[in-house]
Chain A
């Protein structure tokens, strides 16, 4: 089974721009979660989508949004980028009885 894929792997943007990240889950998984990882804050949960609906949401401002398509692929959008948004953004897909998460390689976003 193919793993979770994320595109692009690296992004460089400037303050004020917006960015869209993409995640393709493991085939058959209907849940996709997004996390932000920074050295200072660790792994922080952004939101989770299940069957095209946002099921859980973390404590991030409205500049962070997402969506999920009918094929379970998900996108995350960050508008009006700030320097503090520089981070590794991780996508995880989950399915099955115990819902363990399987992570993609991440997208490294740098905001200049």
Chain B
């Protein structure tokens, strides 16, 4: 079985400050990890993925994520938040060699204040 937890329903950050959106996962074997962003009334947009290799993954729009195997975490980060980053963020996981269907977290609403 595979699962994802996004422990914060909402994250508030001031524009220009660094942001972190947390994600922890549980999977049998090696994980494939993904982050998506969703703007109101839109589909999910792919941000980045971790498959193997370097623990720091860089993605779209200046986002990056850090894979930590010992803590089974894959937190999304950005050095300097923009108001336009305000959106709903989803973490997803699937097992390498396992089901092709990822399991999604419940989402974290990021609000960046001017």
Contact = CB atoms under 8 A, between A and B. Distances in A.
Interface in B79-104: 90, 94, 99-102, 104
A86 interface: no
Interface string B29-61: 000101010000111111001010000000000
A90 B43 contact: yes
B78 interface: no
Given A55-B100, A94-B100, A105 B49 contact: no
Interface string A45-63: 1001010000110000000
Interface of B: 32, 34, 36, 41-46, 49, 51, 90, 94, 99-102, 104-107
Nearest to A90: B43
A101 interface: yes
Interface string A74-112: 000000000000001010101000111111111010000
Given A42-B104, A99-B94, 19 more contacts: A6-B43, A31-B100, A42-B105, A43-B90, A43-B107, A56-B99, A56-B100, A56-B101, A90-B43, A90-B44, A94-B100, A99-B100, A100-B32, A100-B34, A101-B46, A101-B102, A103-B45, A105-B42, A105-B43
